[in-house]
Amino acid sequence: MANAHKSIVRQGRMYRFSIEDTDYDAFIWQAKSKFSGRVMGQPQVPQCTARTAILVRDTLAAWMGTESTKKPAS
């Protein structure tokens, strides 16, 4: 029996936000009555779920903002 690989295709929208002159893209999709999202290219950022896409975007941006303040100065 051959190994079957299932691929997941999500339809969603890209939302952009900036923190300290750095642009980020969040991919946000709807699953039933809730929205979920991730920051593209940032695997350390956990997936977020909320009642609206804007709340997901704002939560991801807030998480990125708090993480950027934790980074030590070079």
pLDDT at 55: 96
pLDDT in tens, 35-71: 999 999 999 999 999 999 999 999 999 998 876 555 5
Q: How far apart are CA 57 and CA 71, in angstroms?
A: 22
Flag the least confident range among 2-6, 12-16, 50-54.
2-6
Q: What is the pTM of this model?
A: 0.74
Mean pLDDT value of segment 13-34: 92
Every domain of the chain and the residues it spans? 12-70
pLDDT at 69: 53
CA angle 65, 22, 17 (to 5 degrees): 70
User: Which of the two residues, 7 and 28, has the higher pLDDT score?
Assistant: 28
